[in-house]
Amino acid sequence: MNTDHEFFLMQLADSFFPSGMFGLSNGLESLVKHDRIKNKQDVLNFIEQQIEFQLVPCDCMVFLIAMEAAKNENIEELVEADNRFYSMRLIREVRNTSVRTGSQILNCIIQMTFDKKKNNIAKNFQKKITSNETVGTYPVCLGIAANLLDIPAKSGVRMMLYSFSQSVIAAAIRLGIIEHISGQIILTTLADKINSISESIKKESLNSLWQLTPVTDIFQMIHEHDDSKMFIT
């Protein structure tokens, strides 16, 4: 089995990678501020619910669609997936953050991939962003990056779910509701669930996308108007 992709998998999942994920709490900050999340179990429950009702049916599906479209050099499908995902992000702060992190990933991957012919799809997609035909959301740009770095789809989904979980846990630690060892326990608890999802998930059409996280959405809307906040979302 070719494992050359594993280094790039770790690189993209690392908080050191300049995507801006470290500055996100994904709604956790507002939920903590309003005493809706108070301890390790609450953090675990929040992550599991977001994975089940947001990431798997929407974010991960767009990521898989983008990976295949990039592989087939189908720029029209990339643009359609990007605009569809952007329209489904109901909170302005979350929409803008997805675009910022996506643009960072795309810019990095273009400069990281030295095979000029292979990264044409990334450059062409960036031109679509420049011409305002699309915006460059996180899961679409991550799908382009995963394709260019020959990361398998299942590994890419696992990376995406891990990165989300890690960013929420890091936010919980910085907010002072859990400590570092509890964070590692949460990640270990999530391992089987994330591995199972990555093995069973199948790419579906854009028309199959859905999401259902109303409580998180409400508190992210509240977060937009807070005068003092530690995180972007």
Whether residue 4 has pLDDT greater than 50 = yes
The model's pLDDT over 168-200, given as tens digits with 9 standing for 90+, comes to 999 999 999 999 999 999 999 999 999 999 999
Whether residue 117 has pLDDT greater than 50 = yes
- Specify the pLDDT at position 24: 77
Q: SS3 letters for the chain?
A: CCCCHHHHHHHHHCCCCCCCHHHCCCCHHHHHHCCCCCCHHHHHHHHHHHHHHHHHHHHHHHHHHHHHHHHCCCHHHHHHHHHHHHHHCCCHHHHHHHHHHHHHHHHHHHHHCCCCCCCHHHHHHHHHHHCCCCCCCHHHHHHHHHHHCCCCHHHHHHHHHHHHHHHHHHHHHHHCCCCHHHHHHHHHHHHHHHHHHHHHCCCCCHHHCCCCCHHHHHHHHHHHCCCCCCCCC
Q: What percent of the chain has pLDDT over 70?
A: 93
- Specify the pLDDT at position 3: 58
- Please report the domains of the chain, with CATH numbers, ordered by start residue: 39-218 (1.10.4190.10)
The model's pLDDT over 136-159, given as tens digits with 9 standing for 90+, comes to 999 999 999 999 999 999 999 999
The model's pLDDT over 91-115, given as tens digits with 9 standing for 90+, comes to 988 899 999 999 999 999 998 876 6
